Chains A and B, each alone.
Chain A
Amino acid sequence: MAGLEDLYREIIIDHYRSPRNRGELDTPPATRTEGFNPLCGDEIVVYLQLGEGTGDERVIEDIRIGGQGCSISQSSASMMSMSVKGKTIAEARDIMRSFKAMMSIHESSLDDSVEEPEIEVDEMKLGELEAMRGVVKFPVRIKCATLSWNTLDQGISEALA
């Protein structure tokens, strides 16, 4: 049985108390994307400022996070902002994929009895984000952890459009 300490790791609480890259960016040139968790009311706003270039080679020059929510959603957003700032879109997508794999997100698994497919989690890419691994043991909270990442995903699409 998973205990609260598995969920509320010290580093998560630290990011919750002192969120990094909190604030806003001027739009334009930055883009602003909102994400909602309709179940619990958590809201995340992701501001993205991309560098020059084309497509996935563009660099996330700056990122700011707004919104409100629980410790898991807010700390996940804070860690996310640190992990993708200065990275290219392609690199950010890699990290996103690894994070979602760690969260055991497998689309369209209809049969409860089927073994979950093993998706490789690239721990090198995750770094500090590893601390979020305990969330998987609390399935209702996975949506809290992934809210900011889904919002980033949407924000990247909007920024590239």
Chain B
Amino acid sequence: MNTGTDTPGTLADPIDSTRIKADFPLLSTTRAGTGHDRLITYLDSAATAQKPQAVIDALTNYYETTNANVARGVYELAEASTNAMEAARRKVAKFINAPAANEVIFTKNATESLNLVARSWGGTNLGPGDAVVLTQLEHHANIVPWQILQAEKGFEIRWIPVDANGHLDLTDLDRFLDGAKVVGLSAMSNVLGTLTPMRRIADAAHAAGAVVTVDACQYVPHLPTDVVEMGADFVSFSAHKMCGPTGVGVMWGKAELLDAMPPFLGGGGMIENVTQEGFKPAELPHKFEAGTPPIAEAVGLGVAVDYLSALGMDAVREHEVRLTSYTLRTLADRFGDKLTIHGPSEPAERGGVFSLELADVHPHDLSQVLDEHGVCVRAGHHCAKPLMKVLGVGATARASVYIYNDESDVDALADSLEAAASFFSF
């Protein structure tokens, strides 16, 4: 798996963030701030990415020129709308190297994607005596669906632990996988930035007879993604973290598994036939897309994919490795032991997500002072409370970078952290 170069600094950054920033109206327009209008320093892309003008225009353009319900009408406009959505599906399939476009299911978000896997595959295949293996890195979206199902089906949930450096501890992997039917795995931690050894775990899981469902929300927007090379059976992610609109997510799955699974939600669009006696589900992907799908949002996602593809995902990764390296170095230089940055210390082993703890300043208070300086970070448990417990903290302040961030944003973060330290100079 290509996780990027580990020798940043030898060549020019392949991404010109100043030029990129100009594509994002929210980042290139001043906003009312404390006492004066200012540009914000947006460091919360792990929560949601900002949108380039092209994506914003795609939504308007769809509604102005193409809006009709999909896969229903025979009139020309309905066909154009259907074609627009299916073109977006093919773009997404190509972007993640899916073997077939009909393996790409549009959902409302990654959470729905992960619930679909748990409910449809897990609900059919799990029972007492079975085991589901999760990692302590997981987001609640890859935990709670299994816990809901566990209450019904009575299987065991096992947890792959995290070591002191924020990596998965795979010492007992074989023991965890013994009798396991599912492995639920985050490709990149939304708290620590840890990149997990997906292929190794997937191969071991398959050898043990388990399927692998990957939460790739933090991975697909930031690294070249090849679902075949990952070795996963299901890969879930959301559009809004990769410059696309909110309201649409993706669940990719292997066709032979999807074909054998029952539908998740029932309704219009997902059937081939319905009688008083029962129904026959539609073919993939429509079998899993009940009701009117997020059409405009899917089209917008297609444009986001175009935008990222034009930059090149290798370049995106290279840029973020460089910026991660700069961030770790800058914060260590300026704050030393006063600032804890959780997670792996090697830029090549992590993404640009930094969970920060500034001595004696609670993350919530920290982010309040940062906001005063126009710096947007996320404070809280990041929907990963089991991981917070492992880290021994209630919350962290999380800064995360993307294509439009550069060294000046990291410097602004460091300046505002200094202001916070001085404001709360206990």
Using A4-B423, A69-B362, A69-B364 as known contacts, say yes or no to A41 and B369 having CB atoms under 8 A apart: no
Produce 1/0 per residue, A110-152, CB < 8 A to B.
0000000000000000000000000000100100100000000
- Interface check B411, CB cutoff 8 A: no
A8–B364 Cα distance when bound, in Å, is 12
Distance in Å from the Cβ of A37 to the closest Cβ of chain B? Answer: 9
Of residues 190 through 223 on chain B, the ones whose CB sits less than 8 Å from some CB of chain A are none
- Interface check B254, CB cutoff 8 A: no
Tell me which of B64-72, B265-273, B378-386 binds A: B378-386
Q: Which residue of B lies closest to A68 (CB)?
A: B394
Interface of A: prevailing SS: mixed
A129–B35 Cα distance when bound, in Å, is 28
Of residues 258 through 316 on chain B, the ones whose CB sits less than 8 Å from some CB of chain A are none
**Contact assessment for A69 and B394 in the assembled complex, using a CB-CB cutoff below 8 Å:** yes
Task: Determine the chain A residues whose CB is within 8 A of the CB of B394 once the complex forms.
Answer: 41-43, 68-69
- What are 24 pairs between A and B in contact, CB < 8 Å? A1-B34, A1-B35, A4-B368, A4-B372, A4-B423, A8-B424, A39-B380, A40-B364, A40-B379, A40-B380, A41-B381, A41-B388, A41-B394, A42-B394, A68-B394, A69-B362, A69-B394, A70-B365, A71-B362, A72-B364, A72-B365, A73-B364, A138-B368, A141-B368
What number of residue pairs across chains A and B have CB atoms under 8 A from each other?
A: 50
A71–B368 Cα distance when bound, in Å, is 11
Q: Which residue of B lies closest to A67 (CB)?
A: B394
A7–B426 Cα distance when bound, in Å, is 17
- Interface check B395, CB cutoff 8 A: yes
What band does the interface of chain A fall in when counting residues whose beta carbon is under 8 Å from B?
20 to 34
Distance in Å from the Cβ of A145 to the closest Cβ of chain B? Answer: 12
- Interface check B363, CB cutoff 8 A: yes
Task: Determine the chain B residues whose CB is within 8 A of the CB of A72 once the complex forms.
Answer: 364-365
- Interface check A3, CB cutoff 8 A: yes
- Interface check A106, CB cutoff 8 A: no
Task: Determine the chain B residues whose CB is within 8 A of the CB of A71 once the complex forms.
Answer: 362, 364-365, 424
Distance in Å from the Cβ of A156 to the closest Cβ of chain B? Answer: 25
Distance in Å from the Cβ of B173 to the closest Cβ of chain A? Answer: 30
Task: Determine the chain A residues whose CB is within 8 A of the CB of B395 once the complex forms.
Answer: 40-42
Task: Determine the chain B residues whose CB is within 8 A of the CB of A13 once the complex forms.
Answer: 424
Q: Which residue of B lies closest to A42 (CB)?
A: B394
Query: Which 8 pairs across A and B sit closest by C-beta, in order of nearness?
Result: A70-B364, A41-B381, A70-B362, A41-B395, A40-B380, A68-B394, A41-B394, A71-B365
Q: Which residue of A lies closest to B34 (CB)?
A: A1
Q: Which residue of B lies closest to A36 (CB)?
A: B385
Interface centre among A4, A40, A41 (most CB of B within 10 A): A41
Distance in Å from the Cβ of A42 to the closest Cβ of chain B? Answer: 7
Distance in Å from the Cβ of B190 to the closest Cβ of chain A? Answer: 14
A122–B292 Cα distance when bound, in Å, is 53
**Contact assessment for B426 and A70 in the assembled complex, using a CB-CB cutoff below 8 Å:** no
Using A41-B385, A68-B394 as known contacts, say yes or no to A144 and B34 having CB atoms under 8 A apart: no
Task: Determine the chain A residues whose CB is within 8 A of the CB of B35 once the complex forms.
Answer: 1
Q: Which residue of B lies closest to A7 (CB)?
A: B368
A144–B363 Cα distance when bound, in Å, is 13
Produce 1/0 per residue, A68-82, CB < 8 A to B.
111111100000000
Interface centre among B34, B368, B369, B423 (most CB of A within 10 A): B368
**Contact assessment for B368 and A40 in the assembled complex, using a CB-CB cutoff below 8 Å:** no
**Contact assessment for B34 and A3 in the assembled complex, using a CB-CB cutoff below 8 Å:** yes
- Interface check A9, CB cutoff 8 A: no
Interface centre among A1, A4, A39, A68 (most CB of B within 10 A): A4
A122–B34 Cα distance when bound, in Å, is 32
Task: Determine the chain A residues whose CB is within 8 A of the CB of B365 once the complex forms.
Answer: 8, 70-72
Distance in Å from the Cβ of A136 to the closest Cβ of chain B? Answer: 14
Q: Which residue of B lies closest to A17 (CB)?
A: B426
Of residues 321 through 340 on chain B, the ones whose CB sits less than 8 Å from some CB of chain A are none
Interface centre among B34, B364, B423 (most CB of A within 10 A): B364
Q: Which residue of A lies closest to B362 (CB)?
A: A70
Distance in Å from the Cβ of B33 to the closest Cβ of chain A? Answer: 8
A42–B35 Cα distance when bound, in Å, is 31
Task: Determine the chain B residues whose CB is within 8 A of the CB of A144 once the complex forms.
Answer: 364
Of residues 1 through 59 on chain A, the ones whose CB sits less than 8 Å from some CB of chain B are 1, 3-4, 7-8, 13, 17, 39-43
A43–B389 Cα distance when bound, in Å, is 13
Distance in Å from the Cβ of B413 to the closest Cβ of chain A? Answer: 17
